[in-house]
Amino acid sequence: MKTDTSEKGLETLIMRHLTGADGLPSGAGDIVAEDPPLTDGSGWFAGSPASYDREFAVDTDPLFTFLQVTQPEEYGKLGLSDYRDRKNIARQKFLARIQGEVSRRGTIDVLRNGIKHGPLSFDLFYGTPSPENLKAVARHAANRFSITRQLAYSREETKRALDLCAFINGLPVMTFELKNSLTKQTVEDAIEQYRRDRDPRETLFTFGRCVVHFAVDDSKIAMCTALKGTKGMAKDSWFLPFDQGWNDGAGNPPNPNGLKTDYLWKTILTPAGLTEILENYAQIVEEVNPKTGKKKRVQIFPRYHQLDVVRKILADVREKGAGERYLIQHSAGSGKSNSIAWLAHQLICSRNGSKAVFDSIIVVTDRRILDKQIRETIKGFSQVGSIIGAVKEGGGTSKTEQLSKFLKDGKKIIITTVQTFPFVLDTIGEEHRGGNFAIIIDEAHSSQSGRTAAAVSAALAEKDEDEDTAEDWINAQLEARIKSKKLLNNASYFAFTATPKNKTLEMFGIPCPEGDEVKHRPFHGYTMKQAIQEGFILDVLKHYTPVDSYYRLAKTVEGDPEFDVKKARKKLRVYVESHSKAIRDKAEIMVDHFIEQVIGQNKIGGQARAMVVTGSIQRAIQYFFVFRDYLTEIKSPYRAIVAFSGEPEYKGEKVSEAKLNGFPSNDIADRIQEDPYRFLICADKFQTGYDEPLLHTMYVDKALNSIKAVQTLSRLNRAHPKKHDVFVLDFQNDTKAIEESFAKFYRTTILSRETDANKLHTLKGELDAYQVYAPEQIDALVELYLSGADRDKLDPILDSCVAVYNAELDEEGQVDFKGKAKAFTRTYDFLATILPYGVKEWEKLSIFLNFLIPKLPAPKEEDLAKGILESIDMDSYRAEKQATLAIALPDADAEIEPVPTSGGGRKPDPELDKLSNIIKVFNDQFGGLFNDPKAVEARIMGVIPPKVSADPAYQNAKQHSDRQNARIEHDKALQRVITAMFKDDAQLFKQFQDNESFRGWLTDMVFRMTFED
């Protein structure tokens, strides 16, 4: 017989694995028996379509079998002589009661908590028992997991049937539509079948009846928790991927032992696995619109990576106990809030042997929504008030008192902010030291490293009660400080982030020896690549448009003063981009683009919003007024909102967000969702942690790089059912720099090697050699400080060192000493948390330098570009959009370098030139050579130097060789850049090749601009 490659063949495959049978009708006979499932299956019964009651959407055979076996006395009181008799009034009333409770509470809650029917109470499911509770074990074994093939579910369309429907004790929990790629149908066809043929008004498909609906083929799986739509179709249903991921992207890996998707029925949907999901993950939560007060119920089922990360962490915790570190690199759009909430709840119950692993779970977050989501998650399982405490500002009690009270009251989950965390933990009462803690860090970054981690560790450390002799007191204090900075054995750290920095990777990542180096990797990953490919977030680089500025400046003074060329260029660029004409021109481009290309094309169903990212508060306010005026001029119905911190002065008057916008600052996030507001103009606000799915377009007028670039542009990536693309118009940044910023976090981020602790010995030796301080001074200050001496006892020691610094070190020496001192304290603060050993001399020098550095005056530096802005004026300005492009990111894991341990350096010599020369170079050098000198001028000033500076060979020569060798590599790099520009600007290429004078001038200028950058 040939292999059955049809859809029915896939049904048979699944049924045989789950039930040990093909799915032929089976069930209880006239006398209900406690029959076990077939041994060839995995614990499921094969259900019979005949026993399904379409009116009440229950499978009566397993339902009444379960009740009769597990609760015979209560079942007897129902008065059912034959539960199959559909005319039996007692039967109909009982099923109607179940249906009413499911409609009101949802199947999940009905399974967890049972129902009351008149004077009777019924359990409808028995959860995971403790192994030592034999009675609970027996009751759990009586649960009847059944799955029915080709279930005719409809009361009206009687021929319509589901491929599979799964039940627990007769209550439906999952439906399945199966497709087979060998017959040229895929998961997309299964989704379409749900949307087209499944009527949400059918009892089986009403909200909360089934926990999840699966669309499955042999390669991919999608899930939906609520079928939605009108006119008898579920067109508004949102299906999400339920795939494992493959090659850091979407899909599933090849399976040498079967189908790519068989993990669904072999691993996820075992009776034990499904029970765990229903007990700890799946739930219905109530969302309240703060503006209207309207309530909406949302059913949640974990996505694959959420289930996977929590299960893997819990398994590791059960095996290893407290004292481990976990870095979870989950992209934006991964649902970190739910993952953290589920993890926090289940860590409470984690046991290593017979003992609970953790006494308390501390969640560190700055997101108010996470506090709410954790409460909503716990609400389904426990009394929130008895489980959770949140350390908050105000409320009449200090943060320390709040935390101490929570611990004394036995709160299992304590939520605090990054800012309050070290402060409140620093003074925890003695009775709380020595307990085991789980610390979950939301959006982990370097602020959780170094000193913050030291404060955490000090607070949670177990106190040594042994008394030391007087002569050893200082050593004991130093040892205590060193020990308190370590990540301790009684605390496990769970750090979640989408963009891990080098410190975060080294502190929380898994060490992986490779050759002579030790790399660090995340414990678990859900990459930006996978999130984009699965549609959870949008690709913000797919429609990226750089905007080039062309401008001409004019000298307005009679004299010809000299200015520092490099600083002058920076000031001129800021002047140009902040000039009222430039702001007006750019604002018009932004508004016109938004109205024509965003609103005009009905993006997000006509609800699209835009964000304007500016480089300063002053520029944001400028934009706000220009936007207001221009929108009024063109009679647009739309308005802008401005967001910034504080109350700055603008044109001699103090202004605030509330004063300019006309409503309180706290309302900004809500108001931007309402008309007439369509533009959010920001200065360092709303650029991280702000999730607004209606944001479609971003206008960038701010220099961005690395994590800042990723975090800022990623504000656009939140998914919305009607959001199919996003758009970036960038007035400031180089395309290459944006690509490099995102490439680090597109796939898994890896630390290339650990920080070399021996560099601290080198830094200490170099600092000692300056003889700014003497060893005796360090010892004296440290002893005074650790013994709690008054402040005026420390300053004389420090002031004498400052006097040596000022008198004995020249300007170059001062720059080098202060830079190395900062590098030492920065590196030591970090390494002290992770090194397995402590060095007292490092600790003492760190204490000393942390007091000395703030007292060291900065070298006096005359601003040799001062006055240049008063000497020039804007002659012309033009901003021109370039071609929209899709920035393709490298499909490879990215390695980042460890924490830099170098410091010091030298003050660069200013390069002086006359104002007339600077203006001439800026404007006129190329006037007679090119048809469009302004365009060439912009290329030479803004395009060529960054590309040359980014050349790897040139960068290497600058870092590791002398000026002469760097010049050789620079000239080669410039040649490569000019050659690459041949197609875009043949005239510039020709002049560079043929005109020796022009080539020499351009080569010298670009080298001056890039060698000291």
Average pLDDT score over residue span 518-524 = 88
Average pLDDT, the chain: 81
Length of the chain: 1013
- What does the pLDDT read at residue 537? 86
- What does the pLDDT read at residue 1002? 84
Confidence of residue 24 (pLDDT cuts 50, 70, 90): low
Distance CA 724, CA 872 (A): 46
In single-letter form, the type of residue at position 411 comes to K
> Is the pLDDT assigned to residue 89 strictly greater than 50?
yes
pLDDT in tens, 189-236: 999 999 999 999 999 999 999 999 999 999 999 999 999 998 889 999
pLDDT in tens, 322-381: 888 899 999 877 888 889 989 998 998 888 777 888 888 888 876 665 666 666 666 666
* Placement of tokens 């609906």 in the chain: 213
The 10 Å CB-count burial string (b at 16+, else e) for 915-934 is beebbebbbebbeeebeebb
> Is the pLDDT assigned to residue 77 strictly greater than 70?
yes
User: Higher-confidence residue: 582 or 162?
Assistant: 162
> Is the pLDDT assigned to residue 262 strictly greater than 90?
yes
User: Higher-confidence residue: 932 or 726?
Assistant: 726
The 10 Å CB-count burial string (b at 16+, else e) for 782-810 is beebbeeeeeeebeebbeebeeebeeebe
CA–CA–CA angle 342, 343, 344 (5° rounding): 95
In single-letter form, the type of residue at position 117 comes to H
- What does the pLDDT read at residue 33? 43
Please answer whether residues 821 and 767 qualify as being in contact, where contact means their C-beta atoms are separated by less than 8 angstroms. yes
- What does the pLDDT read at residue 287? 80
Please enumerate in sequence order all residues whose Cβ is within 8 A of that of 635, keeping only pairs 6 or more positions apart, or say none: none
- What does the pLDDT read at residue 399? 67
User: Higher-confidence residue: 852 or 131?
Assistant: 852
- What does the pLDDT read at residue 32? 44
Q: What is the rounded (10 degree) CA torsion for 5, 6, 9, 13? A: 70
pLDDT in tens, 843-882: 889 889 988 988 888 766 555 445 544 444 544 555 566 6
The least confident of 229-238, 313-322, 794-803, 958-967 is 958-967
Nearest alpha-carbon partner for 886 in 531, 539, 537, 527: 539
Other C-beta atoms closer than 10 Å to the C-beta of 906 total 11
pLDDT in tens, 236-249: 998 999 999 999 89
Confidence of residue 430 (pLDDT cuts 50, 70, 90): very low
The least confident of 88-92, 153-157, 763-767, 894-898 is 894-898
- What does the pLDDT read at residue 551? 45
Burial of 89 (0-12, 13-18, 19+ CB in 10 A): exposed
Average pLDDT score over residue span 291-309 = 90
The least confident of 334-338, 605-609, 983-987 is 983-987
Confidence of residue 479 (pLDDT cuts 50, 70, 90): low
- What does the pLDDT read at residue 914? 47
- What does the pLDDT read at residue 205? 96
Nearest alpha-carbon partner for 918 in 554, 613, 603: 554
> Is the pLDDT assigned to residue 630 strictly greater than 80?
yes
pLDDT in tens, 389-401: 777 766 567 766 7
> Is the pLDDT assigned to residue 553 strictly greater than 60?
no
> Is the pLDDT assigned to residue 685 strictly greater than 80?
yes
The least confident of 199-208, 528-537, 606-615 is 528-537
Average pLDDT score over residue span 878-903 = 62
User: Higher-confidence residue: 210 or 686?
Assistant: 210
Q: Whole-structure pTM over 0.85, yes or no? A: no
Nearest alpha-carbon partner for 179 in 168, 192, 160, 166: 192
- What does the pLDDT read at residue 28? 42
In single-letter form, the type of residue at position 946 comes to P
Please answer whether residues 305 and 242 qualify as being in contact, where contact means their C-beta atoms are separated by less than 8 angstroms. no
Confidence of residue 990 (pLDDT cuts 50, 70, 90): confident
**Over pLDDT 70: what percentage of the chain?**
77
Distance CA 1009, CA 1004 (A): 9
In single-letter form, the type of residue at position 782 comes to V
- The helix (run of H) or strand (run of E) holding residue 661 is helix 657-661
